Chains A and B, each alone.
Chain A
Amino acid sequence: MTDLERYDQARAHIARVGFTPEIQSKIALLLSAAKSGNLMFHSQLQWMPNLGLAQQFIISQSAREMEALALLRSMVQWSPDPRLLTESIPIVAPLSTAWGQILMPPGPLFLPRAAYRGISLGHAQLARMRLSPIIPENADPLAPFVVALQRMEQEDGRMLQTQIRLLKNLGTDIPVSEREDFIEQDQELVSAVFEQFLIWLTAP
């Protein structure tokens, strides 16, 4: 879990420099990596046999991640500096690697553990990547990027409910203790990525 001090440092930095194109691009690079992984996963999972009612929820999750990515890409004032992309790669690498392992053929359609792990990782991302606490008090609440961040976070909360229901109720033979282990490992993975991201965000 990320320390309050890290959030404070990030917020103080943004309060000082504002939501510059560099800051906005860094946030967008993190969210793009996370949400693209969750989108690809749900886009595959929707074809899993015998999902029943859950199929519609899974389709809805992928549609909402797509909306979030579209909102983000259209609202971000992108920096032209390619250094930001190269700097972001090692920070989001644990997420990209984890999603790669989950989606690696034969993938979640055929591997129940990969399916459960994907839901768990998506849950951890929606739960642990919280950006509203880094929005400074002096930020214009109607600035398009600030509005986009707030809306995405509210939507993440709603999507989280679906992930919770899937984690609790999706039929699986995996023992509860093993499922909880997946969930805890993914929370730790995402928290570590987010902590590195906050450090990067405040770097000059």
Chain B
Amino acid sequence: MPTVRLAQHNVNYELVGDPDAPVITFINGLTQNAKLWKNYADYFVPRGYRVLAYDMLGQGRSSKPVIDIKMTAHADMLASLLDELDIKQTHLASISFGGIIALDFAIRFGPRLESLTLMSTFAELTPQLEFLGAVMLQGLTDVGLPYMQNMLYPMNMSSTWIAANRDRIPEMRRAGYIGNDGYAMQNLMESFVEFKPLTPDLHKITAPTLIMNGEFDFFTPRECHELIRSKIHNSRLLIIQHAYHAFTVELPAVTMRQLEVFLGQVSYGGWHGDQSVWVASDDPSAKTQWLPCAGDWTRAIQVAQPPQERAPVVRKPTPKKARP
């Protein structure tokens, strides 16, 4: 993978596809790296896109500052990377921690976006997220990186995935331990200390925005995505059936298909950013991919209307027969 020098930092990236094709840029989650988007590049390049993936500061083979990274530095660095690669505009797709960077980028560098996809993310720390983040950071600092890795599997993935991959998990964990630097991750997480909610600026985002949320994501639950949906006018919320937090990894075929549908609508017409809510088909080959969402999407259960009460039957008193 090539590396560019931006300010005093090295940034590792992978850019594949026809130089004239529209670009999709992927932004990683906290413990991810650019290599994890390879199957997405394999999917989208033959479909006429150019795919850029890169390691954020603190990830993979990019520079890993220890002292300080301001949250805003990540979006600034993405803008510099696009400049360096002579990319004027891009579709931007992001997950989890990367979603905040994408939101910040969309707010401050909006004209550079053709579209925005936000997956499993948030614009501000809800009290629940704030406490979860504190526990994660405490686990990393007080116990160590392997502890945090162990913690993230059940938070990110479904029981079905864990059961199916149980034998592979120790090797995946080892690769993650080698590929991540705990101190760099810690620095990324500590940058949240100065994190200011992005919610007040979400209305500035005008690019077509697809917000994707796993049906059972309890790490960044529906309320996080609902808040984003309610503030970005040119948006739609798409719920991924059966999915947990890391559905880009767990359900790549479904995710790629939804992204393809969205990018197709944006590029060739058909996109309506009306803040409506949809459910993604769990069959990537199905003709209809976005199904209308019935009921209250912010609830985990759908409460039926109570049965209508019958009006009490009042019998008319039967007139007493006069005794003969």
B145–A157 CB distance below 8 A: yes
When C-beta atoms are compared, the residue in chain B nearest to A161 turns out to be B141
A177–B8 CB distance below 8 A: yes
Q: Which of B18-26, B175-183, B237-245, B274-282 contacts A (4 or more CB under 8 A)?
A: B175-183
A132–B177 CB distance below 8 A: yes
Q: Which residues of chain A (152-179) have a CB below 8 Å from chain B? A: 154, 157-158, 160-161, 164, 167-168, 176-177, 179
A180 to B179 CA separation, bound complex (whole angstroms): 20
Known: A154-B144, A181-B8, A184-B63. A176 touches B68 (CB 8 A): yes
Closest Cβ of chain B: how far from A85's Cβ, in Å? Answer: 28
Let me know if A100 is at the binding interface, CB within 8 A: no
Q: Which residues of chain A (92-113) have a CB below 8 Å from chain B? A: none
A127 to B179 CA separation, bound complex (whole angstroms): 12
Let me know if B91 is at the binding interface, CB within 8 A: no
A128 to B10 CA separation, bound complex (whole angstroms): 18
B68–A187 CB distance below 8 A: no
A133–B181 CB distance below 8 A: no
Let me know if A203 is at the binding interface, CB within 8 A: no
Please report the total number of B residues contacting A with Cβ < 8 Å: 24
Let me know if A123 is at the binding interface, CB within 8 A: yes
Closest Cβ of chain B: how far from A176's Cβ, in Å? Answer: 6
A154 to B175 CA separation, bound complex (whole angstroms): 18
B67–A179 CB distance below 8 A: yes
A182 to B273 CA separation, bound complex (whole angstroms): 48
Enumerate chain A residues within 8 angstroms of B186, measured Cβ to Cβ: 164
A4–B178 CB distance below 8 A: yes
Let me know if A73 is at the binding interface, CB within 8 A: no
Let me know if A70 is at the binding interface, CB within 8 A: no
Closest Cβ of chain A: how far from B14's Cβ, in Å? Answer: 16
Let me know if B174 is at the binding interface, CB within 8 A: yes
Let me know if A1 is at the binding interface, CB within 8 A: yes
Closest Cβ of chain B: how far from A92's Cβ, in Å? Answer: 21
A168–B67 CB distance below 8 A: yes
A157–B182 CB distance below 8 A: yes
Let me know if A19 is at the binding interface, CB within 8 A: no
Which has the most chain A C-beta neighbours within 10 Å: B61, B178, B186? B178
Let me know if B233 is at the binding interface, CB within 8 A: no
Q: Which residues of chain A (125-169) have a CB below 8 Å from chain B? A: 127-128, 130, 132-133, 137, 154, 157-158, 160-161, 164, 167-168
Closest Cβ of chain A: how far from B164's Cβ, in Å? Answer: 21
Q: Is the interface of A mostly helix, strand, loop or mixed?
A: helix
A183 to B63 CA separation, bound complex (whole angstroms): 10
A123–B178 CB distance below 8 A: no
A164–B66 CB distance below 8 A: yes
A164–B183 CB distance below 8 A: yes
Q: Which residues of chain A (174-204) have a CB below 8 Å from chain B? A: 176-177, 179-181, 183-184, 187
Let me know if A44 is at the binding interface, CB within 8 A: no
Let me know if B252 is at the binding interface, CB within 8 A: no
A181 to B141 CA separation, bound complex (whole angstroms): 24
B144–A157 CB distance below 8 A: yes
Enumerate chain B residues within 8 angstroms of A187, measured Cβ to Cβ: 64
A137 to B68 CA separation, bound complex (whole angstroms): 38
Enumerate chain B residues within 8 angstroms of A161, measured Cβ to Cβ: 141
Let me know if A41 is at the binding interface, CB within 8 A: no
A160–B182 CB distance below 8 A: yes
When C-beta atoms are compared, the residue in chain B nearest to A157 turns out to be B144
A127–B8 CB distance below 8 A: no
Instruction: Give the contacting residue for A167; candidates B8, B61, B67, B174; CB below 8 A.
Output: B67
Enumerate chain A residues within 8 angstroms of B67, measured Cβ to Cβ: 167-168, 176, 179-180, 183
Enumerate chain B residues within 8 angstroms of A158, measured Cβ to Cβ: 144
Taken residue by residue from 124 to 162, chain B's Cβ proximity to chain A (1 for < 8 Å, 0 otherwise) reads as 000000000000000001001100000000000000000
Let me know if B110 is at the binding interface, CB within 8 A: no
Q: Which residues of chain B (46-90) have a CB below 8 Å from chain A? A: 60-61, 63-68
When C-beta atoms are compared, the residue in chain A nearest to B177 turns out to be A133
Known: A154-B144, A160-B183, A164-B186. A180 touches B65 (CB 8 A): yes
When C-beta atoms are compared, the residue in chain A nearest to B61 turns out to be A1
B183–A127 CB distance below 8 A: yes
Interface, chain B (partner A; CB < 8 A): 8, 10, 60-61, 63-68, 141, 144-145, 170, 174-175, 177-179, 181-183, 186-187
Interface, chain A (partner B; CB < 8 A): 1-2, 4, 7, 123, 127-128, 130, 132-133, 137, 154, 157-158, 160-161, 164, 167-168, 176-177, 179-181, 183-184, 187
A-B contact pairs, 12 of them (CB 8 A): A1-B60, A1-B61, A1-B179, A4-B178, A7-B174, A128-B181, A133-B178, A154-B144, A157-B144, A157-B182, A160-B182, A161-B141
Sorted from nearest, which 8 A-B pairs have the closest CB atoms? Answer: A157-B144, A183-B66, A180-B65, A167-B66, A133-B174, A133-B178, A168-B67, A177-B8
